[in-house]
A and B are shown apart, each in its own frame.
Chain A
Amino acid sequence: MSLKIKKGIPLIDQHDKNGMWGGKFGGNFVPETLKKPIQDLENLFSKLRKDKSFIKERDYYFENYVGTPTPLIKLDNLTDHLGGAQLWAKVVSENPGTAHKVYACIVHCLIAKRAGKRYVCTDTGAGMQGKNLAMVAKKFGLKAKIFMGLRDLVRQKKNVDVMKKYGAEVVPVTSGSQTLVDAVSESMRYWVANCQDVHMVIGSTVGPSIFVKISGYSTSQISRELKLQLIEEFGKIPNKLKLLNCVGGGSSAYGFWSEFIDYDKKHVSLIGVEAGGSKKTKLHAAPLSNNSKLGILHGAKAYCIQDNDGQIGETESLSSGLDYPSVSPLHCFLKDTGRAEYTSATDEEALNAYKLVSKLENISPSLEPSHAFATAISIAPKLSKDTILCIDSCGHSLKDSDIIKEKLGFYTE
Chain B
Amino acid sequence: MSGVRLEGIVKAYGEVRVVHGIDLEVQEKEFVVLVGPSGCGKSTTLRMIAGLEEISGGDLTIDGRHVNRVAPKDRDVAMVFQNYALYPHLNVAENIAFGLRIRKESKEHIAASVEEVGTILGLTPYLERRPADLSGGQRQRVAMGRAIVRRPKVFLFDEPLSNLDAKLRTQMRAEIKRLHKRLGVTSIYVTHDQVEAMTLADRIVVMHDGRIEQVGTPMELFLNPANTFVAGFLGSPPMNMVKATIVAGEHGPVAEFNGERLALQAIPSLQDAVGKQVTLGIRPEFVKVAPEGSTDRVTIDVDLIETLGSEALIHGSLMGEPFVVRTETVGQMSVLDGISGITIAPHLIRVFDAKTGEALPGQVLAQ
Q: Do A and B assemble together?
A: no
Chain B positions within 8 Å of A, measured between CB atoms, are none
